[in-house]
Structure 1
Amino acid sequence: MKLITFIITLMVSANSCNKDDNSMSNQKQEITVAYINGTIFTVNPERVWAEAIIVEGNKIIYVGNTDKALAQISKDTEVIDLKRATVIPGIHDVHMHPLEASSENFKFILKEGNDPENYAPAIRKALLDFPDEEWLLGWGVDLYTLLEAKRSPIDILDDISSTRPIAIMERTSHSIWVNSKALEIAGIDINSENPTGGIYMRDENDKLNGILIDNAGNLILDMALTPTSQTKENDYNGLVNFALPELAKNGITSICDARTYWKRDHHTIWKRVEKEGKLSARVNLGLWGYPMQDDESQISSLKSLYENDSNSLLKINQIKLYSDGIVHNTTAAMQEEYRIDLFQESKNNGLSYFTQNRITSYIQQLENVGFDFHIHAIGNRGVKESLNAIETASNGSGRHRITHVEIVTPSDLTRFSQLNVTADCQVAGDFTQPDQWDENVELIGKESSKNLIPIKSLKEADARITLSSDWDVSSINPFVGMQNAVTRFPQNITIEEAVKAYTFNGAYVMRQETEVGSIEVGKKADFVVLNQNIFSVDPNRIATTKVDMTVFDGEVIFERK
């Protein structure tokens, strides 16, 4: 849709205000922009649908019908004819990794393949292309591709280079593939004990095979990405030149960085972007809880980093803790043992980055500071332990959430509402679709595999649901998530509920529901114009939706050509 902008010469009518139309006051005001003839889904239960919005500066001062909007504008008003286009509030994505997804510190991406030997040419090319990089970092390997290799994965990388450390992140970010040089620099050998929340994988001869599971891989990246002026510039460039424009292109005006590695200076990158006036979204940072750090010193550091200036677009007011790993790695914390043993252990029901007692302690000491907790929990044991910790520790002031919630014990469904815990769900990935649930049967059995990410069951239990992307694990496109949320029978919700999950509910999580999240008089002007009506289109076409315009804080930050 090509939006048509034109100037209409009309005088403000002092008597045209109408309480039912959420109109502006009777005082004469200078209006910046009037958006008319739209199909506007406000997410405001008092007036769900409207035709027009008037914005003065960064504030919405009128929501109602077109005729009454036109009756209130002046000769200086810019009027945008929406031509019946659908408008929704600005998208909130409360779980994504924009800095990691865009960082120039990762030098290559591997394409999907069924034999890791075929990755060699791309890795060799990267070695030649970036000769001055001490660590060669890449992304995109598949864990099971490595496990099915004919020879040890570490030997494949050692043949490529035995002198430069190589570390390649798996697509889920829950494992790292390294060569022997990387292990040597990290001081990891056959006698090394598994770190908290991680596993050094071994082959049948008990030799390290170069696959570092969960937190074991994080420790390598912490070393490789020890902040320097160059690593920070690489992070900054990716964030400004790629990630933020991608957010605007997809109608995303508010986000939570779901894993802010403060020891890598990620928070300072975000602060620089805001200071330079380049931040085109409202951002809450979730400071990473390092599983291996002493709790007393870490809690002290986290307290010192807290920032919650109401006048700032950037807030450092969330803590990201991992309860467990992922089903794919057999590290999600389950009530039952896994049916397949990847790690030559006699018993495996997943692992814990942070135990229930540690999560309890962190909430008790940081909630009063103002921090809200964002807890990664995928397995039914991880979800239960996280809920237990919140129930024990929270004084009720926190707006905590559990993210992923893939496998939930039925008796825990009602606890989300009872404890005011938000269920943050990601359904954009293909693996979350019902036709792929059976892929987990061989790992966790049929009963645990069904109803993966039970959004309908959570909704029926009166839980507050947010939908988010986990970008770059899954697509950043929020309309992929909306389509899947609507079509993934039997665990589906309505399109209206999906939009609310991506807008108002996300605003609640970010403590900004009085300012954004719905289109209402007095709120900031964050909204998105779409190329099709997602409320009437075939549900299987929602994912094809394009953003025609993104308005953030009253300004157009993206317009599709």
Structure 2
Amino acid sequence: MPMNLQSNTIFINGAIYTVNQKNPWAHAIVIDHDMIRYVGTTKEAFRYKKRNSEIVDLNGSFVMPGIIDAHTHIAMASVLLNEGVNLLEVKGKSAILNEIKRYADSHSDASVITGFGFYPYTFGPNGPSASQLDSVISNRPVFLISNNGHSAWVNSKALSILKINKETPDPQPGIHYYVRDDEGNPTGFLVEGCAFWPHLAKMGIGSKASFYGSLKEYLPKLSAQGITALFDAGAPAVETYSFEALRQLEKESALPLRYFGSHFILSAQDAKDAAKTFIRYQKKYNTSLFTLSSVKFSNDNSDDDHFAMQFDDRELKPYFLTLMRHNLDVMVHTSADESVHSALDAIEYAKNHAKHTHSRFTLAHVNMVRDSDFKRFKDLGVIANIQPFNAQGDGYYNYRYMLYGDKWENKLARYNTFFKHGAIVSSSSDFPACNNDLDQCSPLHGMQMGITRQKVSSFIDTSILPDPNERLNIEQMIRAYTINAAFQLHREKEIGSLEIGKKADLVVLDRNPFKTNAKELHKIQVVKTMMNGKIVYEKSI
């Protein structure tokens, strides 16, 4: 529950990094209700002192704008992890199956076993099978989502309930499909969104009550990471239940951050109806702290599934044009270069035919970008949304990148090249696809990985993902998590920096990241988080 400060609060004697390029540093900040009244010197701040003002002496503590996670899936993740088995840290076939059995045995009252985090190709090139799940639980349906959210694993009971059999057509053959055996029978491995997300409701996963309870538990954990705003890039097929839960949380004053949601496109029909559906959602669900912000396309598969694209640029062009004509913002999942290039082509086409649009387009992941396309981000005003965990050496992605061919050697996750070309870069966790538990996917972990291009480790000096020249600096990382993320959300005039007239969203840290060794950034502790002029988190002493 947010804790009220006095209506007038004066923070003094701080190292306040404003992210305002004209006045980047200050010693004091004055908060009136939910707004910033003054930023500057301690002496001048006292001019705003009222009879009932509260004076907070920061004693040199570091203050920065509230952090914005510009791409997460916290709603869906909170349900899958709060009400299911967490497999993120479980490695190997036997260990995964044993953990599923242990969880099922200890949750005998659960009508369906769900969860998140298995790596599918642990089970071989064709992924896991229903028969493997049947060996540990066959009397109840099992429906698990993989570690990157691009596939699902179900047992025979679930296949029967969902009526997925030999005669069931693939949603989009070769792109969104059911893996089959030599006789054409589905094996229980469902690849890409259209093959599994639409089945959640029938399996009883993702109700309003589930989202309400899970988000109520998880969102305060984000406040403890200094996050004051986030963009949820989708709870596909059950998104409206999450919207209803978020409205209820705000009604109860239990929403501790600004929550920007999305309408997730699963099919061609969804894409055709996107503008109409999105506007209807905005009218029905938008509140003060919960806002439908963007339409989300997931336009290419994961690297495991050869980056197959759902829509090519010819198909994207009319979708994007319609959305631009309605001034709606769009995020597109684009991991591989072909997907990035096609999206840029479609955006360029749409902009040429909707010249006065206010739409902003964001391409997410952008791990593989052609040399000639970096400049287009700046020219077209497209935001590059990065996830620094993709750039860590000695990790999962380091080895996956070896499969991409010699032409991508030293050319993966080229974050600094975006900055050099003047593109706007926002940063994010993509939780839970960061392949770690929430506390390991914090913004401070992200900043460290973006700067070092190494795995976070307290004990060893891990290898760097080439090219080391793509490492960012702390100023770039903070901008990516604050003002640039606010720009992505179309809210840079309200949040993202500490300036007079903006909302009072800020975070107090126990160390100055500008003076902290980059490999120690993940150890920095959040002392206080303020959102809308209210303290929503305070570290226990």
TM normalised by structure 2 equals: 0.87
Higher relative contact order by CA 8 Å / sep ≥ 6: 1 or 2? 2
Cα contact 1:260–1:267 (8 A) shared by 2: no
Q: Out of 253, 258, 262, which is 2:228 matched to?
A: 253
**1:389 partnered with 2:346:** yes
Q: Could you say which residue in structure 1 is the equivalent of 2:192?
A: 214
**1:145 partnered with 2:145:** no
Alpha carbons of 1:288 and 1:408: their partners in 2 closer, same or farther (altered >3 Å)?
same
CA shift, 1:546, in A, is: 1.0
Structure 1 residues 271-326: Cα deviation after superposition (integer angstroms, max 9, x where no partner): 22222222221121111112264654555333321349997222113101111011
Matches within 5 A, 1:260-299: 260-261=235-236, 263-264=238-239, 265-291=241-267, 293=269, 295-297=271-273, 299=275
Aligned partner of residue 318 in structure 1, secondary structure? strand
Cα contact 2:28–2:41 (8 A) shared by 1: yes
Q: Out of 431, 435, 452, which is 1:487 matched to?
A: 452
- Using the alignment, how far apart are the partners of 1:318 and 1:232 within structure 2? 21
Give unpaired runs (5+ residues) of structure 1. 1-5, 7-29, 333-350
Look up the equivalent residue of 1:213 and give its one-letter code. Answer: V
Q: Could you say which residue in structure 1 is the equivalent of 2:10?
A: 34
Aligned partner of residue 306 in structure 1, secondary structure? helix
Q: Could you say which residue in structure 2 is the equivalent of 1:409?
A: 370
- Using the alignment, how far apart are the partners of 1:161 and 1:269 within structure 2? 31
Structure 1 residues 201-224: Cα deviation after superposition (integer angstroms, max 9, x where no partner): 245676533221222232443532
Q: Could you say which residue in structure 1 is the equivalent of 2:383?
A: 422
Structure 1 residues 364-408: Cα deviation after superposition (integer angstroms, max 9, x where no partner): 222333420011010100111111111112334211100000100
Q: Out of 509, 514, 518, which is 1:535 matched to?
A: 514
Look up the equivalent residue of 1:432 and give its one-letter code. Answer: A
Structure 1 residues 142-179: Cα deviation after superposition (integer angstroms, max 9, x where no partner): 11212279x96322112223342211111111111111
Aligned partner of residue 239 in structure 1, secondary structure? helix
Q: What percentage of aligned pairs have identical amino acids? A: 29
CA shift, 1:543, in A, is: 1.6
For structure 1, which segment, 450-459 or 218-227, has the greater mean C-alpha deviation from structure 2 after superposition? 218-227
For structure 1, which segment, 442-451 or 204-213, has the greater mean C-alpha deviation from structure 2 after superposition? 204-213
Look up the equivalent residue of 2:381 and give its one-letter code. Answer: N
CA shift, 1:80, in A, is: 0.7
Matches within 5 A, 1:328-367: 329-332=304-307, 351-367=308-324
Q: Could you say which residue in structure 1 is the equivalent of 2:464?
A: none
Cα contact 1:90–1:251 (8 A) shared by 2: yes
CA RMSD of aligned residues (A): 2.6
Cα contact 1:514–1:523 (8 A) shared by 2: yes
**1:223 partnered with 2:202:** yes
Alpha carbons of 1:111 and 1:364: their partners in 2 closer, same or farther (altered >3 Å)?
closer
For structure 1, which segment, 97-106 or 413-422, has the greater mean C-alpha deviation from structure 2 after superposition? 97-106
CA shift, 1:194, in A, is: 2.9
Matches within 5 A, 1:55-454: 55-103=31-79, 106-110=83-87, 112-147=89-124, 153-196=129-172, 197-203=175-181, 208-215=186-193, 216-225=195-204, 231-241=207-217, 243-261=218-236, 263-264=238-239, 265-291=241-267, 293=269, 295-297=271-273, 299-307=275-283, 312-327=288-303, 329-332=304-307, 351-394=308-351, 395=354, 396-427=357-388, 429=389, 431-436=390-395, 438-454=398-414
CA shift, 1:184, in A, is: 2.3
Q: Which entry has the higher C-alpha Rg, 1 or 2?
A: 1
Structure 1 residues 81-129: Cα deviation after superposition (integer angstroms, max 9, x where no partner): 1111111100111101111121167322236444323333432343344
Structure 1 residues 413-466: Cα deviation after superposition (integer angstroms, max 9, x where no partner): 111011100000001x2x522455651355221322533221111111111000
Cα contact 1:85–1:532 (8 A) shared by 2: yes
Structure 1 residues 486-505: Cα deviation after superposition (integer angstroms, max 9, x where no partner): 22222122211111111011
For structure 1, which segment, 441-450 or 519-528, has the greater mean C-alpha deviation from structure 2 after superposition? 441-450
- Equivalent pairs counted in the alignment come to 507
Look up the equivalent residue of 2:431 and give its one-letter code. Answer: W
Cα contact 2:197–2:237 (8 A) shared by 1: no
Alpha carbons of 1:99 and 1:312: their partners in 2 closer, same or farther (altered >3 Å)?
same
For structure 1, which segment, 252-261 or 272-281, has the greater mean C-alpha deviation from structure 2 after superposition? 272-281
Cα contact 1:117–1:156 (8 A) shared by 2: no
Cα contact 1:61–1:521 (8 A) shared by 2: yes
CA shift, 1:252, in A, is: 0.6
**1:507 partnered with 2:486:** yes
Q: Could you say which residue in structure 2 is the equivalent of 1:46?
A: 22
Look up the equivalent residue of 1:115 and give its one-letter code. Answer: G
TM normalised by structure 1 equals: 0.84
For structure 1, which segment, 66-75 or 450-459, has the greater mean C-alpha deviation from structure 2 after superposition? 66-75
Alpha carbons of 1:113 and 1:203: their partners in 2 closer, same or farther (altered >3 Å)?
farther
Look up the equivalent residue of 1:481 and give its one-letter code. Answer: G
Cα contact 2:128–2:189 (8 A) shared by 1: no
